[in-house]
Amino acid sequence: MSIREGLLALLHDGPRHGYQLKTEFEAATGGVWPLNVGQVYTTLDRLERDGMVHAHEANGISAAGVDTGRAGQRTYALTPAGEAELKAWFTTTAPEGPPPRDELMLKVLMAVGVGRAQAVQVVTRQRTVLLAHLQRVRRERAGADGDLAARLVTEALVARAEADLRWLDSCETHLLADRRRR
């Protein structure tokens, strides 16, 4: 998953250096996607190449004339092209096409190919594993209630697990109905 547009969104608030972007991205996303700072700088290089950001090397002196010790640190700022790309990203939806390859879906579909009984076993087991995951999500993220981003991430994880569990229940219904018809 590209972090490109996430960095543009953070730069909308003002210039940042790379490490700042890393920590702010992680805070804004409730800690669910820790970033490697090397990945941040690689992405910033590409954004600069594409004209979305420009880099500026600090002279290390603050507005009050104090040496900040940060001479040579690169700071990045959004260009007009970067602003336009960010605005387009917020207002468009993902292009239609096949869904991303999903291990759970693949596992169940392949099990159906092996046989109905195998598929029912796989569905049963995967449902248990997913519920156990949901139990852990609820407990591990319980302390994050005060942080909006963390709460939204928890809701996303719960909602996606619920969606997968509903799909598994539906698979089971179809498989058992199919088995009874034969």
Give the position of tokens 């207002």: 91
Closer residue to other proteins (CB): 4 or 127: 127
Q: Which run of H or E residues covers position 74?
A: strand 74-78
Give CA separation, 115 vs 111, 120, 140, 177, in Å. Answer: 6, 9, 37, 14
Handedness of CA 133, 151, 78, 56 (dihedral sign): negative
- 132 contributes a contact to other proteins by CB under 8 A: yes
Give CA separation, 44 vs 20, 29, 37, 87, 127, in Å. Answer: 12, 19, 11, 18, 41
Closer residue to other proteins (CB): 62 or 135: 135
- 138 contributes a contact to other proteins by CB under 8 A: yes
- 144 contributes a contact to other proteins by CB under 8 A: no
How far is CA 47 from its chain centroid?
19
- 169 contributes a contact to other proteins by CB under 8 A: yes
- 147 contributes a contact to other proteins by CB under 8 A: no
- 139 contributes a contact to other proteins by CB under 8 A: yes
Stretch that binds other proteins, among 22-30, 34-42, 103-111, 127-135 (CB under 8 A): 127-135
Closer residue to other proteins (CB): 95 or 146: 146
Stretch that binds other proteins, among 18-26, 28-36, 91-99, 157-165 (CB under 8 A): 157-165
Closer residue to other proteins (CB): 45 or 169: 169
* Helices H / strands E in the chain, number of each: 7, 3
- 101 contributes a contact to other proteins by CB under 8 A: no
Among 35, 55, 161, 174, binds other proteins (CB under 8 A): 161
How far is CA 80 from its chain centroid?
26
Closer residue to other proteins (CB): 77 or 129: 129
The answer to whether 133 and 161 are in contact (CB under 8 A) is yes
* Total Cβ atoms within 10 A of residue 179: 13
Residues found near other proteins in the complex (CB under 8 A): 124-125, 127-128, 130-132, 134-139, 142-143, 145, 158, 161-162, 165, 169, 172-173
